[in-house]
């Protein structure tokens, strides 16, 4: 390893500020039967972990090494030469947000303050869930379905691959991962079964409300 130049602002050693793999907010088996511990062990323990590890390798010793994850994402978005950093940073962020978008005792009725906003935008909670489900199922290939606030109004949008609303003016409230690695071990090709299971049993409306405030 080369000697650090300490003549200007203090430079942290390369390993001093890595992006950290966020802890799961629940045990790996707590989302069963919709998402099995086996899926969680691969999805969190391999896929998410690998995005974090790849990101740390890619940013080590670069201008991105000391930036927050959000800042890395927004400063590499739309730059073709930074695609690898953007993809791994965005996937790191997306997965942490996705884990929080679910909870073992999720689904059911949203809290009143969120329910009002949902009814204003979609007519009913069921209509909102239907739009989230159809958007998640219709995403061609890998990507994400999101409930977002756009100019104060709730909307459902989808993004491909690692893309995310953070690079737009929309504020993400919750997300559903529709990459095959999210459901293939449990549901094989039946993405709709996975998505409906998440919406009925796991979706964390409280988290969405926190993000809306
Ligand atoms: Fe994923």
Q: Which of 10-19, 95-104, 158-167 has the lowest mean pLDDT?
A: 10-19
Distances, alpha carbon 174 to alpha carbons 55, 57, 121, in Å: 23, 28, 16
Share of the chain above pLDDT 90, in %: 91
The CA 120 to ligand 1 mean position distance, Å, reads: 31
d(Cα 143, Cα 54) in Å, to the nearest integer?
Answer: 19
Number of helices (H) and strands (E) in the chain: give both, helices first.
Answer: 9, 3
The alpha helices in the chain, defined as continuous H runs, are 37-42, 49-59, 69-76, 83-100, 112-122, 125-138, 184-187, 191-197, 205-212
Q: Which of 2-16, 18-32, 144-158 has the lowest mean pLDDT?
A: 2-16
Neighbours of ion ligand 1 (CB under 5 A): 177, 179
Between the CA of 161 and the centroid of ligand 1 the distance, in Å, is 10
pLDDT score of 58 more than 80: yes
Are 35 and 201 in contact by the 8 Å Cβ rule? The answer is no
DSSP code at position 203: B
What is the maximum alpha-carbon separation in the chain?
Answer: 62
* Contacting residues for 152 by C-beta, under 8 A, at least 6 apart: none
Distance 27 CA to ligand 1 centre (A): 17
| Rounded distance between C-alpha atoms, residue 33 and residue 49, angstroms | 23
Mean pLDDT of the chain: 93
Q: pLDDT at residue 1 above 80?
A: no
For residue 7, how far is its CA from the centre of ligand 1 (angstroms)?
42
Per-residue pLDDT band for 82 (boundaries 50, 70, 90) equals very high
CA of 6 to the centre of ligand 1 (A): 39
Rounded Cα distance, 140 and 178, in Å: 9
Regarding pTM above 0.85, the answer is yes
Q: How confident is the model at residue 10 (pLDDT cuts 50, 70, 90)?
A: very low
As to burial, measured by CB atoms within 10 angstroms (0-12 exposed, 13-18 middle, 19+ buried), residue 70 is exposed
Q: How far is the CA of 179 from the centre of ligand 1 (A)?
A: 6
What's the gap in Å between 13 CA and the centre of ligand 1?
Answer: 30
pLDDT surpassing 70 at residue 84? yes
| Distance from residue 2's CA to the centre of ligand 1 (Å) | 36
109 CA to middle of ligand 1, Å?
Answer: 26
Q: What is the mean pLDDT of residues 95-113?
A: 97
Mean pLDDT of 77-97: 98
Distance 187 CA to ligand 1 centre (A): 15
Give the list of residues 6+ apart from residue 130 with CB closer than 8 angstroms, or none: none
Res 16: pLDDT: 44
Q: Cα angle at 129 between 162 and 147, to 5 degrees?
A: 40
CA–centroid distance, residue 34 to ligand 1 (Å): 15
């Amino acid at each position: 390893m080369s000697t650090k130049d300490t003549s200007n602002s203090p430079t942290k050693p390369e390993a001093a500020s890595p992006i950290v793999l966020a802890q799961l907010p629940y045990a790996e088996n707590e989302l069963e039967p919709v998402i099995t511990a086996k899926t969680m062990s691969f999805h969190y323990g391999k896929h998410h972990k690998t995005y974090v590890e790849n990101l740390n390798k890619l940013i080590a010793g670069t201008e991105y090494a000391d930036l927050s994850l959000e800042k890395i994402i927004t400063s590499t978005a739309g730059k073709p030469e930074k695609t690898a950093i953007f993809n791994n940073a965005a996937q790191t962020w997306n997965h942490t947000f996705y884990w929080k978008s679910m909870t073992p005792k999720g689904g059911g009725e949203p809290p009143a303050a969120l329910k009002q906003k949902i009814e204003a935008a979609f007519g009913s909670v069921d209509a909102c869930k239907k739009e989230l489900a159809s958007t998640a199922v219709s995403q061609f290939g890998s990507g994400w379905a999101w409930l977002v606030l756009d100019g104060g109004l709730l909307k459902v949008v989808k993004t491909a691959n690692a893309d995310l609303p953070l690079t737009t003016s929309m504020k993400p409230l919750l997300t559903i991962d529709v990459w095959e690695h999210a459901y293939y071990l449990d549901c094989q090709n039946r993405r709709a079964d996975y998505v409906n299971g998440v919406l009925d049993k796991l979706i964390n409306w409280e988290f969405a409300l926190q993000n809306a405030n």
